[in-house]
Amino acid sequence: MRGVIRVLLAEDQSMVREALAALLGLEDEIEVIAQVARGDEVVDAARTHRPDVALLDIEMPGLSGIEAAAALHRTEPGIRIVILTTFGRPGYLRRAMESGADAFLVKDAPAAQLADAIRRVLRGERVIDPTLAAAALVDGASPLTEREREVLRASGDGSTNAELARALHLSPGTVRNYLSTAIQKTAARNRAEAVRIARDKGWL
């Protein structure tokens, strides 16, 4: 008989984090041994508490769950990684798997899938929603360069080109060029639509 499965839980919303811990606490052989609220605390907590599985939300301050997964995978490759997110965006899934995640779950899924995924990744399985996997293969790869992504993301709050240029240390002409390419690549008609499309696909 195997022992208890030790889980590190990273989620920035306290109430959701503690609720997930309560949910996992209903499973006999799963124990939440540490909780953190920031992505940049994941690696340290993993070193201190030695979990079997790290359960990571994507949208966290400090580092995103995807960035935290990459850092954890690089430094502590023995720890299995489950990504749990509100947003089942194809680009998120693709980036998560490229960062070394073993499972990708959405918070819309039935609660039973969470404990199930934790058990399965420990057996060496990959766990992904099949519909989401198909979508990620079709349009998960972002056509945007890192710079285009940065400029498009920054433009989402309605900043002018001049403000974007100042904030990103670029010339206004360069900002205009990046935005124009990003609009073209997302097949959008304007900047706001490009932001929306890229966000929905998980490219931002």
**Interface pick for its own copies out of 101, 105, 164, 204 (rule CB under 8 A):** 105
Structure tokens at 104: 């990708």
Three-state SS at 106: strand
- When the beta carbons of 13 and 145 are compared against its own copies, the nearer one is 13
Task: Please give the angle made by the CA atoms of 197, 98 and 103, to the nearest 5 degrees.
Answer: 95
Residues in the interface with its own copies (CB under 8 A) total 39
Structure tokens at 22: 């309560």
Q: What string marks each residue from 12 to 31 as x (binds its own copies by CB under 8 A) or -? A: xxxxxxxxx-xx-xx-----
Instruction: Determine the Cα–Cα distance for residues 134 and 140; give it in Å rounded to an integer.
Output: 9
Name residues contacting its own copies, limited to 132-171 (CB under 8 A): 155-160
Q: Does 191 bind its own copies (CB under 8 A)?
A: yes
Q: What is the largest CA-CA distance in the chain?
A: 65
Identify which range of 64-72, 93-101, 122-130, 187-195 contacts its own copies by CB under 8 A.
187-195
Instruction: Determine the Cα–Cα distance for residues 167 and 165; give it in Å rounded to an integer.
Output: 6
- When the beta carbons of 43 and 182 are compared against its own copies, the nearer one is 182
Q: Does 111 bind its own copies (CB under 8 A)?
A: yes
Instruction: Determine the Cα–Cα distance for residues 160 and 139; give it in Å rounded to an integer.
Output: 29
What is the nearest approach in angstroms of its own copies to the Cβ of residue 123? 21
- When the beta carbons of 13 and 75 are compared against its own copies, the nearer one is 13
* CA distances for 74 relative to 2, 62, 95, 100, 104, angstroms: 26, 18, 15, 8, 18
What is the nearest approach in angstroms of its own copies to the Cβ of residue 156? 7
Chain residues in the site for its own copies (CB under 8 A):
12-20, 22-23, 25-26, 84, 86, 105-111, 113-114, 155-160, 188-196
